[in-house]
Amino acid sequence: MADAPLITMMRAFLVAAGAMLCLLLGIGNVNAYSGFGTAVIEDREGIPCFGLPPRALEWVRSPRILQAVMVYHHDTVKAWSFMYDLTPAEPLAPGQCIVYGDLPASATLRTSPQPLIPATLYEVYLNAPTNGPIRGYTAKFCLKAAPDGSTRVIPIRYDKRTGWSAAVCQP
């Protein structure tokens, strides 16, 4: 019975160590998602136009320098991408966006723009790192075809029931 205080102390230590491990796992999970903000997607006559949220442009002292844009479908197939040359690019001003397929003057094309297919889920990634926690901006979208043959760009939000789905863009 003389070992009872030692056993109690060891149990307390193990419980404290387990609690600390759980706390650290939770903190790591938070950091994993802090590197991305939500990109802005606008409809420009049926063609997506990509920009940064206004709040992202206000809270940082230095202007956001866009380094690259990548558009994917099926998570890995590139539909269009470009990177800016090593020389400093123009900052992306509030309200400014880059139209799908329009290559900025100082950028290098990496993947030629592919035709966007209605009812297909796409994702855009804008590489615009800052001194803060945000390294880039991402958003999902699809095109919805109208009976007259025109298309509309629809930003996709995550739904707890359906996940990331282009169902809103089905005819």
90 and 151 fall within a common domain? yes
29 and 86 fall within a common domain? no
26 and 49 fall within a common domain? no
Return d(Cα 142, Cα 155) in angstroms, integer: 7
Structural domain containing residue 24 = 1-33
76 and 127 fall within a common domain? yes
72 token code pair? 């994917």
CA atoms within 13 A on the CB side of 110: 16
47 and 5 fall within a common domain? no
Q: Over the range 60-69, which residues count as b (16 or more CB within 10 Å of their CB) and which as e?
A: eeeebebbbb
86 and 12 fall within a common domain? no
> What is the pLDDT tens value at each position of the chain, 171 positions in all?
566 666 666 565 555 555 554 444 444 434 344 688 899 999 999 999 999 887 655 455 556 678 899 999 977 899 999 998 766 666 777 678 999 999 988 899 999 999 999 999 999 999 887 667 778 899 999 999 999 999 999 999 988 888 888 888 888
pTM for the whole structure: 0.73
